[in-house]
């Protein structure tokens, strides 16, 4: 019985791990607008044309055009891709809280550090329930009760 209890405690402790989802503010313009960020190496190996550097980060647009991320951020490249009327889809990182698509709101679980992502109410509710210590206490009591019942049945 003690081994089973300690086994549950170890699993419980392993589940409650803090995670970091920190992203650079330099990534905001490209990612928040739904574009892909890639390395110069990716573009070179993919056959893209132009003067590229392996170590630089580029913002890749759906029509295969691209800009150096820093130039996209300071409006010296890709201005036609900076549409003002955009919204962020579910699961994508968000810097500006009013940019989530309809029905979504920024959410970052209490056990994480970093940037929130746009999520519906159901995900936010279950996430908060999941990371709430009171929820886990009730869950542990329930599991121990089931183990106790099984132990009593086997003992008979």
Instruction: Write down the pLDDT at residue 5.
Output: 54
pLDDT, tens digit, for every residue of 91-108? 888 888 788 888 898 888
What are 63's two structure tokens? 């029509």
Percentage, residues of the chain above pLDDT 90: 4
Cα–Cα distance list, 53 to 6, 44, 69, 106 (Å): 53, 8, 12, 34
- The answer to whether residues 86 and 33 touch, using CB atoms and an 8 Å cutoff, is yes
**pLDDT higher than threshold 50 for residue 19:** no
Is 22 within 8 Å of 113 (Cβ atoms)? yes
Entry pTM: 0.54
- Distance between CA 100 and CA 87 in Å, rounded? 5
Instruction: Compute the average pLDDT of residues 65-73.
Output: 87
Reference 94, options 18, 21, 152, 10; nearest CA is: 21
Q: Which residues contact 106 (CB under 8 A, 6 or more apart)?
A: 94, 97, 100, 116, 117, 118, 119
DSSP-derived secondary structure for 124-135: HHHHHHHT-HHH
């Amino acid at each position: 019985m003690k081994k089973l209890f300690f086994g549950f405690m170890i699993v419980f402790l392993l589940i409650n791990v803090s995670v970091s989802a920190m992203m650079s503010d330099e990534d905001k313009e490209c990612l928040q607008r739904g574009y892909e960020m890639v390395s110069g190496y990716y573009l070179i190996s993919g056959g893209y044309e132009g003067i590229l550097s392996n170590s630089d980060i580029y913002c890749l647009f759906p029509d295969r055009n691209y800009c150096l991320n820093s130039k996209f951020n300071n409006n010296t490249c890709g201005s036609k891709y900076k549409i003002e009327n955009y919204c962020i889809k579910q699961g994508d990182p968000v810097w500006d809280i009013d940019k989530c698509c309809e029905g979504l709101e920024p959410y970052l679980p209490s056990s994480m550090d970093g940037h929130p992502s746009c999520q519906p109410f159901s995900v936010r509710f279950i996430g908060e329930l999941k990371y709430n210590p009171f929820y886990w206490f009730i869950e542990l009591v329930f599991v121990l009760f089931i183990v106790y019942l099984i132990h009593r049945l086997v003992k008979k």
